[in-house]
């Protein structure tokens, strides 16, 4: 495999079920990264949540956040952003409150995470996982200056998520509506996809997509896995996802990323 850049989802892919990176996977990533093969984190998480994992990993590369809706460079400066218009976001939120009251709606934009109730168990759990803190407020007020949001994250039981997904796909067909796991539904501007983030950074590094590798386990990883020349679905991914990509590896618990990276030879000099 001629691989010059690597992209990886975080939850259920790079991280084991204890929410940490295995030592041998981390060691191999850093070995390749130091040799000139960048390892890029790609996540539906907000920047703070992605930086948390980058600190554990120990490299300094651009970050793809909000499933490709926001990209930060090595110095944490915004180099790419795709938002949902604020008025549309306000309308979507109001419709969700009426049609899907069982869902916990979280609104994200840039470095801001806004909720109606920060004591909601779903919010508390997400704060523990990401080590972030939500802010209580109204979308119209909190995102007025930005003029838009990067995503809604809807949390709930699978049957509630399915109801919300069906409603949004029917009423807002131009939005990007994807499940990151059975309990989370990501809602973004229709132009947002992890594949677009991969294309953007490959262009920035002047590396063809055919020489990119990507790893993922969720529905929102499909575009990225298909865009990269070497896309790998994790062993813990759904059978549907695994059937849609050419390559699979072991699960996150079995160090599936490490197994693939062991087959990559470091270049003689950095690109």
In the chain, the DSSP E strands lie at 5-8, 39-42, 63-65, 70-72, 78-81, 84-85, 104-109, 112-115, 135-136, 148-149, 151-155, 176-181, 184-188, 212-216, 230-233, 247-248
What are the structure tokens assigned to 178, written together?
């994807």
Same domain, residue pair 179 and 210: no
Q: Do 74 and 204 belong to one domain? A: yes
Single out the residue in 138, 170, 188 at which a domain terminates.
Answer: 188
Q: What's 39's domain CATH number?
A: 3.40.50.1000
CATH number of 173's domain: 3.30.1240.10
Q: Note whether 28 and 66 are same-domain residues.
A: yes
Q: At what angle are helices 47-57 and 23-35 packed, to 10 degrees?
A: 90
- What does the pLDDT read at residue 268? 60
Residue-number span of the structural domain to which 61 is assigned: 5-81+192-261
Q: Are residues 65 and 198 in the same domain?
A: yes
User: Mapping DSSP to helix (H, G, I), strand (E, B) and coil, where does residue 235 land?
Assistant: coil
Per-residue pLDDT of the chain (271 residues; tens, 9 = 90+): 899 999 999 999 999 999 999 999 999 999 999 999 999 999 999 999 999 999 999 999 999 999 999 999 999 999 999 999 999 999 999 999 999 999 999 999 999 999 999 999 999 999 998 888 999 999 999 999 999 999 999 999 999 999 999 999 999 999 999 888 899 999 999 999 999 999 999 999 999 999 999 999 998 999 999 999 999 999 999 999 999 999 999 999 999 999 999 999 776 654 4
- Per the domain annotation, does 269 fall within a domain? no
Rounded Cα gap, residues 267 and 22, in angstroms: 24
Domain boundary among 188, 207, 233: 188
Residues annotated as catalytic are: 9
Q: Which of 188, 204, 231 is the last residue of a domain?
A: 188
What's the total number of domains in the chain?
2
Overall pTM surpassing 0.85 (yes/no):
yes
Residues with Cβ < 8 Å from 54, sequence gap 6 or more? 41, 60, 61, 63
Q: Is residue 271 part of a domain?
A: no
The pLDDT value recorded for residue 270 is: 45
């Amino acid at each position: 495999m001629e691989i010059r850049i690597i992209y990886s989802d975080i939850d259920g892919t790079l991280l084991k079920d204890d929410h940490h990176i295995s030592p041998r996977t981390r060691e191999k990533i850093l070995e390749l990264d130091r040799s000139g093969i960048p390892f890029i984190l790609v996540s539906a998480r907000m920047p703070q949540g992605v930086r948390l994992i980058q600190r554990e990993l120990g490299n300094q590369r651009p970050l793809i956040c909000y499933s490709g809706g926001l990209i930060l460079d090595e110095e944490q400066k915004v180099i790419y952003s795709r938002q949902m218009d604020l008025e549309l976001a306000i309308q979507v939120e109001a419709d969700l409150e009426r049609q899907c009251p069982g869902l916990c709606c979280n609104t994200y934009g840039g470095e801001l995470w806004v909720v109606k109730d920060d004591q909601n168990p779903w919010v508390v759990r997400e704060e523990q996982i990401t080590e972030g803190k939500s802010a209580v407020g109204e979308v119209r007020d909190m995102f007025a200056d930005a003029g838009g949001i990067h995503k809604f994250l809807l949390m709930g039981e699978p049957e509630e998520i399915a109801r919300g997904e069906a409603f949004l796909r029917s009423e807002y067909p131009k939005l990007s509506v994807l499940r990151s796991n059975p309990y989370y539904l990501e809602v973004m501007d229709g132009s947002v996809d992890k594949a677009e983030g991969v294309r953007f950074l490959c262009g920035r590094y002047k590396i063809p997509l055919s020489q990119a590798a990507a790893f993922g386990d969720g529905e929102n990883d499909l575009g990225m896995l298909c865009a990269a020349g070497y896309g790998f679905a994790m062993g813990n991914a759904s059978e549907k996802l695994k059937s849609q990509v050419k390559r699979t590896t072991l699960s996150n618990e079995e160090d599936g990323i490490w197994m693939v990276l062991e087959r990559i030879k470091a270049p003689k000099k950095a690109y």
